Structure 1
Amino acid sequence: MKKLVLLALITVVGFTAQAQQAKISFKAETIDYGTIAKGSDGVRVFEFTNVGDGPLIISDVKSSCGCTVPKKPEGPIAPGAVGKIEVKYDTNRVGPIRKTVTVYSNADQPIKALKIKGEVLPDGQSVVN
């Protein structure tokens, strides 16, 4: 009897948790900086929408190295609302950009990897070349 009650409780809790689930949909999962000059503005934004029916909470955003600094939204994102994750790359580092930004949330897919790419040219090289 105890097992039956426990199974019923777990089933009810499972359906309740599933009833209001946040779901994140990014406008783009990769940001291409293109070819940029050293010292250029390194700030870009990943825009997303909570397409689920529960509040979306971004608990953490981490980058694959210290040259990329992500900034997460502070509060919950309501269903249907748009949010932004700001990413700042250190454009004083010359060479190719290939970095990953990992988003941790309460969404149906709790870990999401986003990418940034591009190339920072050395001083004296033109972006137009």
Structure 2
Amino acid sequence: MNKVLIFVLTLAIVSCNGTKDDGSINSDVVNNSATADGKPASDLPEIKFEEEVYDFGKMTQGEKVSHAFYFKNTGSRNLIISGASGSCGCTVPTWPKEPIKSGKSEKINVVFNSDGKSGYQEKTVTLITNCEPATRVIRIKAEIIVPETAK
């Protein structure tokens, strides 16, 4: 019993590394400049879409369609889209990799492949930006009609 108690006390003492915590928060680990630099939210980029949802309507199974989502940087800093991902492999976005200056417009192209899909479909594309909030979601919808020959 004494050996266990001595081991636990030794472990507790050794695990205290003697550093002081002054209560400050280190923002070096935050990669989103919207939160890391401490600037007020009004001094950040802002992404404003013409539309955030697009409905392709009825389409035949196997069709591949695309839509361009146009947006503008209405903020005061350069807008950076660091990533975009579709909710499944059938939804593939392409986005500008260069910073978008304040006041400038750009687009995100989304290609939807309806192969193997049927009925009502709603897919999302999630964007990672340097805005506040850092993530934005755009959506596409479609009703997939299965041809009689495929049934």
Q: TM-score, structure 1 length as denominator?
A: 0.78
What pairs with 1:89-108 in structure 2 (closer than 5 Å)? 89-95=112-118, 96-108=120-132
In structure 2, the gaps of 5 or more residues are 1-21, 25-36
Matched, 1:112 2:136: yes
Counterparts in 2 of 1:117 and 1:18: CA distance versus 1, 3 Å: closer
What pairs with 1:3-14 in structure 2 (closer than 5 Å)? 14=38
Where does residue 59 of structure 2 map in the other structure?
A: 36
Cα distance, 1:124 vs structure 2: 4.8
Looking at structure 2, the residues matched to 19 and 29 of structure 1 have their Cα atoms a distance apart, in angstroms, of 22
Letter in 2 for 1:120: I
Looking at structure 2, the residues matched to 90 and 18 of structure 1 have their Cα atoms a distance apart, in angstroms, of 38
Looking at structure 1, the residues matched to 117 and 42 of structure 2 have their Cα atoms a distance apart, in angstroms, of 48
Bigger Cα displacement from structure 2, 88-97 vs 64-73: 88-97
2:70 aligns with one of 29, 32, 47: 47
Looking at structure 2, the residues matched to 62 and 78 of structure 1 have their Cα atoms a distance apart, in angstroms, of 23
How many percent identity over aligned positions?
32
Cα distance, 1:108 vs structure 2: 2.1
Matched, 1:82 2:105: yes
Cα distance, 1:118 vs structure 2: 1.2
Q: Is the 8 A contact 1:58 1:105 kept in 2?
A: yes
Letter in 1 for 2:91: T
Q: Is the 8 A contact 2:85 2:125 kept in 1?
A: yes
1:25 aligns with one of 39, 43, 48: 48
Higher RCO, 1 or 2 (CA under 8 Å, sep at least 6)?
Answer: 1
Q: Is the 8 A contact 2:49 2:70 kept in 1?
A: yes
In structure 1, the gaps of 5 or more residues are 7-12
Q: TM-score, structure 2 length as denominator?
A: 0.67
Letter in 2 for 1:112: R
Please identify which structure carries the higher strand content: 1
In the comparison of the two structures, how many residue pairs are matched?
A: 114
Letter in 2 for 1:73: P
Q: Is the 8 A contact 2:127 2:137 kept in 1?
A: yes
Where does residue 9 of structure 1 map in the other structure?
A: none
**Structure exhibiting the larger radius of gyration computed from Cα positions:** 2
